[in-house]
Structure 1
């Protein structure tokens, strides 16, 4: 538990105490000039803590946090050149464990992206070794039980928009590729693209990216330059031509109305057409300074409207892969309850499995209950998709266990 900052060359302060759960946070502290921190030692190490630490498989192979029992409370972070030789790799063996794994993976993904943002802002090089480790875990989790990671990534969106966006697009693009029958290698190549394709947004002035009003024409011209910034920042990385085309062309549209080149139809690489769909879907289902989020169902309807220039064949496949009510979205039921979709039903997309947790009659949380809407003995149906904020529901507080 980090209590406060000790010696440092910068002016960083700790507003509230918190646990350091991932080496990427340590890198962030070091990058900000932190040399020592004051820690509060916990009374015991729980099974959950051990699992959370092991889930990442010691992604930092050359930078590990060493705090021994005999160290004083005012302890420095010591960086060792040698990674643990006998690290334990925990593979989830139950759905509950898969959700725990997914929770930690989402945290790790966002923490690491924030580190990359910090380095990119300072024009420092980006090392994607850790990101590739995360992509491996994303792919493995989606293979084991896609519902867990899709649900967690949809619900756990507290924090910076760009970190959330990178995390979710990386996961969704990997899942989309899986559903299209692509190889493991291609799924992972697309996942790392989804993670870094928008990194150039760090070069766009803060007053534009966080503007409360809709962007002006001049703002849009500046925003469009993020594509080239992303290409420049990822140029030193080991990314192939197809990956770079996906980054370069993800704002192109089949009708020629996109940018930066106004390409049409098959001139646009398939990876870019896939990324355009996922990028748009996540942007529309997220809160942004100038735009409130839409429900997933509403976003999918827009993507499937040919007037918006998305590849309609791919768009329909994307909708089929997620379902009409995607995992992680909230729905209002005919029994005046609100539920979280936990598993789609390919055969009957209007009847997924859900977790009921809120009453619209009392406008408060209720004892959670899992329901399979396909159960013929129950006549409960989905009335409509809903937005959590409209009912005062805090997504971060929804129990996914």
Structure 2
């Protein structure tokens, strides 16, 4: 029998079935466990969680005579119906600056959860998906509040955390792309789940290959190419994943022209979700710093991907560009006025007129007063005339200009 009790009534020996509230409010990745240690009890009491569901059939019950009026009893079936019936209001749109602060915390929490889940997989344990659905919901809500904050922040991962944050980034990209394609709420959620789990098979790849700071040998690359099928086996063993998410895990490296792997599928043989996964996976991979190379500029990455004929489904790729922009957030661009700036936000109806924070004069080669300009309001007076490379100008940490986060290595200009 499940009972909802106050945290103050928890004691050692109780079996926690579920925490009430957001998965971000408590410090545990797994949602079902027997409360055995004082340390875990203390961590729960110090968290933002106020109530929990306990399973009296798997652990201690609340002592007779000590049950407070707030305790609720339900069967597992009744609880499931209750949770399913809860209505969820779509979050209101907020500014990039406001959502960056939330997304930063969400990135950190998501990374910790993915590290634990992937570590279990590496040790051969069955993949448990206790809070994956909650994580996807939180990321989806962030994308709804502001479509660029989570996606852009996740791109700033270091090479050391790439394997884990890549999964978070692809989850957010898949959610944004699914919405752009007009999918239902359930399909959007499935897309996010697929993105989060698409690379779990890399936990079967030796670290010496996964983190090699140089080009892989033919044998090493052959080993690396085994990760989709390894991931598929892991997800099948978990018995908790949908066929759609499993398909993305297996086939996100297939190419539309049939030259991909592991099964050399072509065209419509590749599911729509796997075609979406291919685009999102590649975009985040090439814009991220890796052990063996520095990430490309977002706008340059979009340009190069557009040139890879046969790699992607054109319709899916075009929808992807609409979701992130021709000039994605963080792209360094030159304006006709001679000013350089970083893209801050996309225009709802025009891919060519984003909001840009200008900070440097390309003509006089000196910094200028930082100012956010809305190119949609400057049509005929100023526009983007090209992409620029930060390294060519000696700029460092220009991500601080759009994210508001403190630069990691000083100012943006060397």
TM-score, normalisation: structure 2: 0.71
Q: Which residue of 300, 319, 322 maps to 1:320? A: 322
Q: Distance in 2 between matches of 1:211 and 1:155?
A: 20
C-alpha distance 313-396 of structure 1, shift in aligned 2 (>3 A): closer
Which moved further from structure 2: 275-284 or 228-237? 228-237
Q: Distance in 1 between matches of 2:361 and 2:314?
A: 38
Partner deviation per Cα, 1:125-179 (whole Å, 9 max, x = no partner): 3332223212101111222221333333344657511122111111001100011
Match of 1:393 in 2: 396
Match of 1:123 in 2: 124
Q: Distance in 1 between matches of 2:245 and 2:361?
A: 46
Tell me, yes or no, if the aligned pair for 1:59 and 1:130 is still in contact at 8 Å: no
Q: Distance in 2 between matches of 1:305 and 1:377?
A: 28
Tell me, yes or no, if the aligned pair for 1:62 and 1:81 is still in contact at 8 Å: no
Question: Secondary structure at the residue paired with 1:339?
Answer: strand
Match of 1:242 in 2: 244
Tell me, yes or no, if the aligned pair for 2:154 and 2:166 is still in contact at 8 Å: no
Match of 2:13 in 1: none
Q: Distance in 2 between matches of 1:363 and 1:111?
A: 42
Match of 1:310 in 2: 312
Match of 2:288 in 1: 286
C-alpha distance 350-81 of structure 1, shift in aligned 2 (>3 A): closer
Partner deviation per Cα, 1:307-357 (whole Å, 9 max, x = no partner): 342111211221122221012333244555443312212543222102234
- How far is 1:111 from its partner? 2.1
Match of 1:56 in 2: 24
Q: Distance in 2 between matches of 1:55 and 1:386?
A: 41
Listed as ranges, the matches of 1:359-398 within 5 Å are 368-376=370-378, 379-388=381-390, 390=392, 391-394=394-397, 397-398=400-401
User: Number of aligned pairs?
Assistant: 338
Question: Secondary structure at the residue paired with 1:251?
Answer: coil
Match of 1:141 in 2: 142
Q: Distance in 2 between matches of 1:59 and 1:132?
A: 17
Match of 1:150 in 2: 151
Tell me, yes or no, if the aligned pair for 2:340 and 2:361 is still in contact at 8 Å: yes
Question: Secondary structure at the residue paired with 2:376?
Answer: coil
Q: Distance in 2 between matches of 1:259 and 1:161?
A: 22
Tell me, yes or no, if the aligned pair for 1:341 and 1:353 is still in contact at 8 Å: yes
Any gaps of 5 or more consecutive residues in structure 2? 1-20, 53-90, 405-414
Tell me, yes or no, if the aligned pair for 2:100 and 2:153 is still in contact at 8 Å: yes
Tell me, yes or no, if the aligned pair for 2:276 and 2:316 is still in contact at 8 Å: yes
C-alpha distance 153-361 of structure 1, shift in aligned 2 (>3 A): farther
Which moved further from structure 2: 77-86 or 317-326? 77-86
Match of 1:108 in 2: 109
C-alpha distance 308-208 of structure 1, shift in aligned 2 (>3 A): farther
Q: Distance in 2 between matches of 1:303 and 1:398?
A: 26
Match of 2:162 in 1: 161
1:190 aligns with 2:158: no
Please report the RMSD computed on the Cα atoms of aligned residues, expressed in angstroms: 3.4
Tell me, yes or no, if the aligned pair for 1:341 and 1:352 is still in contact at 8 Å: yes
Match of 1:85 in 2: 50
- How far is 1:274 from its partner? 0.7
Any gaps of 5 or more consecutive residues in structure 1? 1-52, 64-74
C-alpha distance 200-381 of structure 1, shift in aligned 2 (>3 A): same
Question: Secondary structure at the residue paired with 1:138?
Answer: helix
Q: Which residue of 252, 266, 269 maps to 2:268? A: 266
Q: Distance in 2 between matches of 1:205 and 1:102?
A: 31
Q: Distance in 1 between matches of 2:192 and 2:365?
A: 39
Q: Distance in 2 between matches of 1:167 and 1:155?
A: 12
